[in-house]
Amino acid sequence: MREVAIIGVGMTNWGELWEKALRDIYVESALLAINDAGVDHIDSMYVGSMTSGIFVGQEHLASQLADYLGVLPIPAARVESACASGALAVRMGFMDVASGLNDIVLVSGVEKMTDVTGGDATYALGTAADQEYECFNGITFPGLYAMMARAYMDRYGMTREQLAHVSVKNHQNGSLNPRAQFPMKVTVEQVMDSVMIADPLRILDCSPITDGAAAAILCPLEMASKLSDKPPVKIVGTGAATDTLAYHGSEDLTVLAATVKAAEMAYKMAGVGPEDIDLAEVHDCFTIAEVVVIEDLGLVEKGEGKSAAESGLTALGGKIPVNTSGGLKSKGHPVGATGVGQIVELTEQLRGESGDRQCGSPKRALAQNMGGSGGSAVVHIVEVV
């Protein structure tokens, strides 16, 4: 198996992009990655997208986007795993290059979510939950993650203020990210006084509806220095796993089992442990998700995630910075693009290109992306060469 490097990344500004179609934001991000890599062609491409058929009425994205990018007739495939679609596209691209099947591979994610009403967006996102057992009975993702928050509070004594600190931290980071959808700072008081969505989660605990795309170029590590003059970022570990789709089927409501398993796979492949990670991008679709995920990744002990943001442990200057991009909470969450956006952030951090939110000179980083209420998860570990 060949070693795989990231040699180029690109990402559009994320937000409510009324003037652009899905194909426009996709091509924009893909061209940014191609230009960043300095390559003159690609051999294959993977597109992460959760539910473009509902959001914009367009399926068969692989053909359409290869066409509008001007790379026909290369092989192309759309990849879907709910909100983990982007990370799974990266994993598929990694496997393509590692196997020797193709040399220069474009991995990407895209979602156009604001062209429908709020009710239709809620329905579209709900397709990542169990339709018969959950959606039919009226549950939504804010409700599912509110259950997670309540279970965690009951078991580990997390306060409402501690949960708010996750939002405060990520908005602080997002305020330094020019591509973020909501790059404004918030206070604990503002979070706690914001509109209630599903007790105890308020609107400032929730990631937004977002339009956006992100892309990266992968190639064999041995070719990286010949193709690009930028430091290659090697994918040293990758893991993917699944768990019960319906949240009530989880063995432990305070553990995301697919994330635990995917992390174990990625750490084993990379030959490292949580203590070797310098920074991480994790799936904070809701503030409670970040609390649970950093525990499931082993970045903090179980029950200690509740105070990680409050203590500064996961801040930009902390021991293990988490969501330096602003995370899904501030940067935005165009569901199919999120996992690739995480790779963009980590690549730029490892190359020292993150401007005011640069975290020193990190050597190794981790990305965790998941679908639904944890029914699927993908973890990547990357390091600068």
- 223-255 burial, b if ≥16 CB within 10 A, otherwise e? bbeebbebbbbbbbbbbbbbbbbbbeebeebbb
Q: Are 297 and 368 in contact (CB under 8 A)?
A: yes
User: How far apart, in whole angstroms, are the C-alpha atoms of residue 361 and residue 155?
Assistant: 37
Q: Are 164 and 191 in contact (CB under 8 A)?
A: yes
User: How far apart, in whole angstroms, are the C-alpha atoms of residue 323 and residue 302?
Assistant: 19
- In angstroms, the Cα distances linking 36 to 168, 223, 290, 321, 347 are 32, 15, 30, 25, 12
User: How far apart, in whole angstroms, are the C-alpha atoms of residue 341 and residue 322?
Assistant: 14
- In angstroms, the Cα distances linking 374 to 26, 190, 247 are 26, 28, 8
* E-state strands within 34-75: 44-48
DSSP conformation class of 164: H
Closest CA to 74 of 42, 97, 104, 100: 42
Q: Phi first, then psi: what are they for 84, rounded to 5°?
A: -95, 10
Q: What residues are annotated to the active site?
A: 83, 333
Query: Distance of alpha carbon 24 from its chain centroid, rounded?
Result: 21
Residue count of the chain: 385
Q: Are 364 and 139 in contact (CB under 8 A)?
A: no
The 3 state secondary structure assigned to 64-118 is HHHHHHCCCCCCEEEECECECHHHHHHHHHHHHHHHCCCCCEEEEEEEECCCCCH
Q: Phi first, then psi: what are they for 378, rounded to 5°?
A: -135, 135
